Structure 1
Amino acid sequence: MTRPADTPDSARHGAPDGPPDHAPASGPARGPGARPTAPSGARTGAPSAVRPAPWVRTRLRTAPSSALLATALAFVAVLLAASLPRAVDRGADQALRSFLHDRGPVATSLLATSTARYGDQSTENLDSVRNALLARTGAGFAIAPSGVVHGTQASKQRDLANPGLPSPDGVPPRMDLLYLRDAAAHTELVEGRWPSGGAPDGPVPIALSRQAAQTLGVRVGTVLESFASNSEPMSAEIVGLYRATDEDDVFWAGLPCLTRACQANTPSVPPQRYWQTAALVGPDRLDRLALWGEGAEDFWRLPVDTGRLRADLLPDVAREIASYVGGPTASALRGSTRRSDLRITSRLPELFKQAEARQQAVAPLAAIGPAGVAGVAAVVFCLAAALTGDRRESELRLLLARGGSPRGIVGRLLGEGAVTVLPAAALATALALWLLPTPRGTASLLAAAAVTLLALLAFPVRAAVLLSARRRGPAPRRRLVAELLAVAATAAAVFEVRSRGVAPAGEGLDPLLVAAPLLLALCGGLALARLQPVLVGVLARAAGRRPGLIGFLGLARAARGTGGRARPSVLPLIALLLAVTTGGFGATVLDAVDTGRLRVARLAVGGDVQISAPYGGTLPPAMTEAAAALPGVRTSVGVWTDDKAFVFGTVQGSTQVTVVVADPVAYAELAGTIGRGRFDPALLAKDPGAGAPLPALFSSDLAKLAEAGTYRLSFGDGGELQIGSVGVVEGTPVRPGTGGAVVVLPAGPTTARLPKTGHPDRWLATGAVDGDRLREAVRATAPAGTAARFTVRTSADTAAELGSDPLQRSAGRLFWASVAGAAGFALLAVLLTLVRAAPERAALLARLRTMGLRPRDGIRLILTEALPQALAATLGGALVAAAAVALLGPAMDLSALVGSTVPTGLRLTAPPLLTQALGLAFLVTVAVLAEAAISGRRQITTELRAGDQR
């Protein structure tokens, strides 16, 4: 049986203006879209003996490797496109829930309070209000499984007047009384009974936690006497002791010391310590709570289930919460509960605004990586279509010359692509939906559909352009206009970002910030496509004047493009430039985030490590000596501080200050290392002499209040010194933040006049110090039983805590995944170009081998031809990424990614850019070497047997 003329192989080796060798001799062949005719010699009306072969099946059998590559490319691209929105959604949801969970159950609850109705109190009334509150929830938010916590609490605590109760600083213990609904379900009665009964004018029966009873030294049967300044004395009898089944249960959150006695401090200066606790009363003694606390308050705490909140529905939930707190819902609840003083408060509206602002601040920075991989993938699809069109152009024109219509040919190409693209796209979409479950699927389906259309239409559109009539205008003019438009769009985007900055919080994703690096990479690729042939041509001419043929031939072929006619060489350049630019720009952002986070951590700690003594205490000399001897310590200094000192003689009369007494040289080195409070140690090295004022450094805000002369410095725990200002510093490493007045004194003269300042209460150091070894040294040198009172902080732990936010981790993972995807697509662009030129290059090598070319010289020729473009693209990408950082960096605010407020701006650093450029250059070089080794092994006879028909 004869083979139909529209078989795709008919155009592979045949001339465009003649039939192929295997075409049937009788009658002209018809292409796709042509009307079928009866073969010559057949009777009219008789069925044709020759049936045309199915186009798609024949095409796929003819070029299985191309079909397999198209399927794999579509599968990977659609999988990435469908997975990206779902990964972003999951990261946003996880970040929101983690952010709210870290704020604790009290901050994420709705707290309803109302003045207790004296004489009309009952548990039924409390339950009815609870039911009314719950009836208004569930639309956008739900209550956590732990349930509502409600009851009645006395408005004030009472001091316990029993003699012999522990009083650390002479302050008697204080006790609060509560009725707590369902407390028995979260406790275990260990002694006595639950409170109930009792005479109306007798002691109030209470249940106390066993830990609190042990701390206060009381037991069942003890009557606790109390007194209040504005009310008559009352007493409470302990009738039972209980133990909380789980002290970390959210049921106890926000309640006053019900599981154990707590130590608190009075607001006086200096603060005095005292014990406080709370006890439970029975439901029949609710009226006694108002007498104990000079009033009582009913409360209902409704914990919101933050595990069910979604970032995309956060605005709707915020509106419902706002209505619940102070809107129509709150008004309706006051009416339904018949409590006009019902007050509902919550921190959730504030937390929702913070969470939304954080998400919007991170969104532009997190979108740069995905935008880069999307741009590289689009370029790869266009490149694949261009290369396929170049390879099959003669076939398509032959079909058109044999009677096929352009519409029919393009339709057949669409069907051919649908067989390979659509199943792969459907499988990739289903896999993404299964691997990354999330309630939202619209964005994922839209992204998958867009990539599927691009993969499906790229080659048919290219074929339609090839088969269309001659386009108007010469090609160089059209290319110049397109390049000028790209440059104008890039300049406008960069100018707009520089002039107005990144879109502020509340405006969502900033498209200009995302598009600007891609536009810069596009302009760089267009410029490099024009410059590279010129530069490589210069190198080729220089190589031609030197002995040897390989360098000149390879560079000449690289300068004019592989083959005898134009190739789409600008697309691989753009793909590589996009990958390096977005990768380098994003890596610079993440490197700046790590640097900023470490700087914030060092400022918060006062160095790389800090040991602080308890309030009013000092550090043992053995502890500071052991810490200073640890490996990695570069600079260390012990300081004595006083936060309650006053300077007399300022324009205000007196100003409260923080006094820092330290060795000037070591302290100045520490301040210079961490970048806060720098000064010349020579300012404090002067000997003041007997009776002269001590030299002192004033912080800038104190210096504004100070007048020339001598000042009197009074310490919080006694003692005075005469000081004189010799300089101004911007803060101190000892005190986090930038506010507050500070006075820095030299250790030697100050200790000579006030010996207590010679015993440091803090030790600060810089260097790579192991935090675990430091804590071990503190435990080993602390006095017996006091190791827990010494606080050890490290900048590494603080930076890790700042970087533990799931929002930041999600943005980082998304970026690095995008970098890997962009690098893979860029590498694929290079491989497509190499594979397309491989047959012609192999034929050239075969001919040169017959003229004496050695195999290793053939590999050198391939490398000399292919590497200049790839290496120039990676170098150009690094330069464009540096330009993007320099142009766009001043407008970027990294506070959301750092986890703390940092100055706006992004500095240009070489390591991130070079890492991305050199990494991609290495991958491209390996790919070229692999392709060269494969091409170098081709047999000469195999290439020459087919003849030169390319």
Structure 2
Amino acid sequence: MAPDREERRQGREPRRRSVAPWVRTRLRTAPGTALAFAVLVLITAFLAAVLPRAVDAYETEGLRRDIDGASPASTVLELSAPQPGLEIPGPAREQAMRPQALAAVHRKALDRLPEPLRTDTTESAYGVRTSESLLGLDRWLPHLNAPPRFTLAAQSELARHATVRNGRLPTAAREVTEDTREVEAAATAETARVMRLRVGSVVSLGGFPGRPLAVRITGIVEPRRPEGSYWSAEPVLRTPAIAALPSNPPPFYWEAGLLLAPGAAPALLGSQGKPERYWRLAPTTGRLTAQDVPELVDRIASFEGGPGLLRMREIAGDTAEFGTDLETVVGSYAATREAITPVVAVAAFGIGAVAAVVLAMTGGLIAARRAAELALLRARGGSLRGIAGRLLAETAVVALPATAVGLLLAVLAVDEARLLPAVLGAAAVALLACAALPVRAVVSHRGPQPHGEREDLAHTRPSSRRTVAELTALVLAVGSVMALRRRGATGAGDLLVSAAPVLVGLIAALLLVRLYPLPLRWAARPAGRLRGVVGFLSLARAGRSPATGTALPLLALLMALTTAAFGGSVLAGVSDARDRAALLATGADARISSPGDAAALPAGVERAVRGVAGVRAVTAVRIERTAELSSAGKGQKESLTLIAVEPKSYAGLARQLGLGAFPADVLKGSGGVLNAVASPGVAERLGRAPRRITSLAGDVTVRVAAVRPRTPAAPGTEFLLIDAAGLERSGPTTLLATGETLDARALRAAVRGAGKGFTVTLRSEERAALSDSPLQAGAERIYAAAVASGAGYAVLALLLSFVQSAPERAALLARLRTMGLTTRQGRRLIGLEALPQALLAAGGGMTVGWATIRLLAPGIDLDRLALAAAPGLARVDGASLRTDAWSLALPAAGTVLLAGAVAAAGAWWAGRRAPIIELRAGGMR
């Protein structure tokens, strides 16, 4: 008796047999597919999560580097207040200048600074200083055109920031008042050397009522961190400087600083130095991020003239002021970031689109492999909702853990970045990965599926919905390109503009898919008349490849190639711009010159430079920046830069470097008039008539014979170039050396051995300095990663395309082999069948990449990306997006070679299997 019937006879409910869960069964059935899918999702989620974190990281590093690299005088936050007014009693005025009162205000000011303004308390200082320097009355002090002047500062915590070399630190032994006329002070070692000070020296300073102030030097100190804000917020306290009085001609004088004891500050009251109290708060960047920039600028503006200033005046007095140039530094950084971010967004859109297409292809491949299973479920009453739910569950079990691991790896890989953008990027990948298979299955099986219906490109007709979607994409692409060309990439939020290359690639892919079968049909007709069958079969099958198996792979390849071409062109344009800027900074591979190009070089310098290994040629030139042009009828002199050269060698140098090349014969003169090559501005001033030039090397008459925008000796200025033989004194002031591998250390050693005071500037060092900005380096890394990732996804798209059609191809090959097709012919058939699509993708990718760069070049500004580390550098010719042949050709050639390799591997594998195995396994195909 059956167990169920026996249980019913005994009055018990029969036990239900457990049914294996759907998800577990599917994962056990195809573990390899699940593992491959998990790896793909993990890598894609990692890239989607690490990209925003990498952008945050290099933007934060750039902000911190810019603030830390700026001078402390520009970044320090200074709260200042003038001396108490005369309406206040004398003791109260003196009390307000003493260290205890100043320290109390300092503590309150630190407490009232809001986030993200943070201070480095170790470099912050407060005290009293003379806002105007005081005249030194002693004759033994060094004089230039005028007597020296001194700034007095009673600054806090001198002992903490200085090391005493001689003597001791100043003190205020008794209570100092406004009437005190003798105080102690310390001077730095550099100040003591320049101003001839030593321990025990007494400096008399004017500007005090009654009698001068006597400042006794009690100690010579050495700053412990001279570059820090304590010493560099007011550099004159550390190092004397030459200043000029506001007159014509201006007399020059030495200005130095002396450090009083904090308790001696009341002695400065009533002086002509206009003493003021100050509290300098040194900013710290330890926790500052790029996202703090808007709030940081708002906070600074509030303290300079808003509610923040009112709060500070509550503690420092109604006349207190708050000042800093930190907003200028932050504003320069923000402007550079705003210029670079849209260019980086283009790369992010490109790689994101390729990754999305590959994920969609993966879902399509799985759906195609399980088409018979899903059709059977529908035939047995399965609903679309139920099937989609089961497929969603089995993909979510794989995709969600893989996404979580990818997100975790991204967080571990990049520190100090926001988590939310990374989570959103990984979530988008998870959503697409989970939805690709269910959506594809629902779309394919929403209606009956006739068995044996052709679905190739030659038979499928685009629906009206597809036509509308394609036209919509075309309108978006045209609009984005026009917007980018007209106003440029203006901001990171301009998504339509940033997606312009992707939209152009999408339109090109749709167009190629529509046109793809036509040339293959035309080529198949003459191939059918040939004796062999392989050529005709390969062309016929390529023209009838499945529509779903051609559009997405072609779209992925085109987007990947477009992204690679665009990214490669950006990197090439940046590199060329930096090379050009470095050349314009030096005029050759190396430049050896006297200070200001004012003194003639000894003959030994040129011989020494020629003997350095790697130096190929040396061109000597004389540069006079004080030459004068007589203005006829005005009796005035106009200054210009006169360059005297040896025509033959200098013309060769200009031709080699591409800086204003000219024939050497142009400089030949006649009748006492020298021919000259002039810059456009100088040529306009001189005209074509002979003009008289006055210079230290002699007076000459010149006539402009040629006009060139630049020349190696003075690539960034207006110039007048003549033959050195026409001057009375033609000793060179500058050497221009060329060579591929110049040894900077050996070159400087050779110049030092020939003389002192000469400057050696290398083109390679100028080039390296231009790429030192974290914003630049980070953006370049993003582009390089985008190109590499796009190439990887392109490879994966080819593999998926080949895998999707592999079963049908293997079955066909087996049938043809039973009809007499040899193994060699079968391999040729598979290879030739894959070749048209690869050639189409390669040719289309090169064309689309070239067209994209030509269309978008006017709207992409590479100046900031290329030259952000040299903000003072003028615009460089050629710092624009241009087509890079290698970026177009190499990815396209790699696509063809890879397609051939994949096809050859597939043909080899198919040839190893016996035809009967494929026919049995694929009997329904």
Normalised by the size of structure 1, how large is the TM-score? 0.85
Query: Matches of 1:290 and 1:640 in 2, distance apart?
Result: 56
The structure 2 residue matched to 1:296, chosen from 265, 271, 275, is 275
Query: Matches of 2:463 and 2:509 in 1, distance apart?
Result: 18
Distance 1:463 1:804, change over 3 A: same
- Counterpart residue type for residue 792 of structure 1: V
Query: Matches of 2:788 and 2:740 in 1, distance apart?
Result: 32
486-495 vs 872-881, which deviates more?
486-495
Matched-pair contact (CA < 8 Å) for 1:688–1:695: no
1:596-637 CA distances to partner (integer Å, 9 max, x unpaired)? 111122112223321121244332222223334556656643
Q: How much has 1:524 moved relative to structure 2?
A: 1.7
Are 1:448 and 2:426 counterparts?
yes
Matched-pair contact (CA < 8 Å) for 2:181–2:212: no
Matched-pair contact (CA < 8 Å) for 1:91–1:806: yes
- 1:825 corresponds to which residue? 793
Distance 1:665 1:212, change over 3 A: same
Are 1:835 and 2:799 counterparts?
no
Query: Matches of 2:276 and 2:678 in 1, distance apart?
Result: 49
Q: How much has 1:161 moved relative to structure 2?
A: 6.4
Matched-pair contact (CA < 8 Å) for 1:384–1:832: yes
The structure 2 residue matched to 1:386, chosen from 352, 364, 367, is 364
- 1:927 corresponds to which residue? 902
Query: Matches of 1:876 and 1:804 in 2, distance apart?
Result: 37
- Counterpart residue type for residue 909 of structure 1: D
Are 1:133 and 2:100 counterparts?
no
Query: Matches of 1:897 and 1:122 in 2, distance apart?
Result: 51
Q: How much has 1:587 moved relative to structure 2?
A: 0.8
Query: Matches of 1:705 and 1:229 in 2, distance apart?
Result: 54
1:332-361 CA distances to partner (integer Å, 9 max, x unpaired)? 323432241x23222222222222221121
Q: How much has 1:71 moved relative to structure 2?
A: 1.9
Query: Matches of 1:171 and 1:936 in 2, distance apart?
Result: 97
834-843 vs 117-126, which deviates more?
117-126
Number of aligned pairs?
A: 889
- Counterpart residue type for residue 490 of structure 1: A
- Counterpart residue type for residue 110 of structure 2: L
- 1:11 corresponds to which residue? none
Q: How much has 1:813 moved relative to structure 2?
A: 0.8
- 1:642 corresponds to which residue? 624
Matched-pair contact (CA < 8 Å) for 1:363–1:509: no
- Counterpart residue type for residue 187 of structure 1: A
Matched-pair contact (CA < 8 Å) for 1:608–1:766: yes
- 1:68 corresponds to which residue? 35
1:417-466 CA distances to partner (integer Å, 9 max, x unpaired)? 22222222222223323332345222222222222111111111111122
Structure 2 runs not aligned, ≥5 long:
86-92, 450-458, 868-872
Pairs within 5 Å for 1:139-154:
139-154=115-130
SS at match of 1:949: coil
- 2:216 corresponds to which residue? 237
Matched-pair contact (CA < 8 Å) for 1:210–1:242: yes
Query: Matches of 1:683 and 1:268 in 2, distance apart?
Result: 46
- 2:680 corresponds to which residue? 700
Distance 1:298 1:776, change over 3 A: same
- 2:495 corresponds to which residue? 511
Pairs within 5 Å for 1:73-222:
73-117=40-84, 120=94, 121-157=97-133, 175-197=150-172, 203-214=182-193, 217-222=196-201
328-337 vs 114-123, which deviates more?
114-123
Name the % identity: 36
Q: How much has 1:744 moved relative to structure 2?
A: 3.2
- Counterpart residue type for residue 581 of structure 2: V
Question: RMSD over aligned Cα, in angstroms?
Answer: 3.6
Matched-pair contact (CA < 8 Å) for 1:360–1:509: no
Query: Matches of 1:281 and 1:99 in 2, distance apart?
Result: 33
Q: How much has 1:588 moved relative to structure 2?
A: 0.5
SS at match of 1:591: helix
Q: How much has 1:582 moved relative to structure 2?
A: 1.0
Matched-pair contact (CA < 8 Å) for 1:646–1:655: yes
- 1:521 corresponds to which residue? 505
Matched-pair contact (CA < 8 Å) for 1:609–1:769: no
Q: How much has 1:272 moved relative to structure 2?
A: 9.7
- 1:461 corresponds to which residue? 439
Distance 1:82 1:47, change over 3 A: farther
- 2:462 corresponds to which residue? 476
Are 1:614 and 2:598 counterparts?
no
- Counterpart residue type for residue 24 of structure 2: R
Query: Matches of 1:405 and 1:45 in 2, distance apart?
Result: 35
Are 1:552 and 2:552 counterparts?
no
- 2:226 corresponds to which residue? 247
Query: Matches of 2:478 and 2:391 in 1, distance apart?
Result: 39
Q: How much has 1:314 moved relative to structure 2?
A: 1.2
Distance 1:93 1:929, change over 3 A: farther
Query: Matches of 2:298 and 2:368 in 1, distance apart?
Result: 58
Q: How much has 1:548 moved relative to structure 2?
A: 3.3
- Counterpart residue type for residue 139 of structure 1: E
Query: Matches of 1:436 and 1:603 in 2, distance apart?
Result: 37
Query: Matches of 1:514 and 1:80 in 2, distance apart?
Result: 19
Normalised by the size of structure 2, how large is the TM-score? 0.87
- Counterpart residue type for residue 603 of structure 2: P
53-62 vs 631-640, which deviates more?
631-640
Distance 1:48 1:466, change over 3 A: farther
- 1:686 corresponds to which residue? 669
Q: How much has 1:45 moved relative to structure 2?
A: 10
- Counterpart residue type for residue 588 of structure 1: S
- Counterpart residue type for residue 591 of structure 1: A
Q: How much has 1:405 moved relative to structure 2?
A: 2.0
Matched-pair contact (CA < 8 Å) for 1:576–1:870: no
Are 1:627 and 2:609 counterparts?
yes
SS at match of 1:804: coil
Distance 1:482 1:943, change over 3 A: same
Distance 1:707 1:51, change over 3 A: closer
Q: How much has 1:907 moved relative to structure 2?
A: 2.5
Pairs within 5 Å for 1:253-652:
253-259=232-238, 277-289=256-268, 294-340=273-319, 342-469=320-447, 475-478=461-464, 479-498=466-485, 500-504=486-490, 507-561=491-545, 567-615=548-596, 616-628=598-610, 630=612, 636-649=618-631
Query: Matches of 2:688 and 2:572 in 1, distance apart?
Result: 46
- Counterpart residue type for residue 680 of structure 2: S
Q: How much has 1:728 moved relative to structure 2?
A: 4.4
Pairs within 5 Å for 1:828-867:
828-850=796-818, 853-867=821-835
- 1:803 corresponds to which residue? 771
Distance 1:531 1:645, change over 3 A: same
1:390-421 CA distances to partner (integer Å, 9 max, x unpaired)? 22222222112212222222222222222222
- Counterpart residue type for residue 912 of structure 1: S
- 2:860 corresponds to which residue? 892
The structure 2 residue matched to 1:911, chosen from 875, 882, 886, is 886
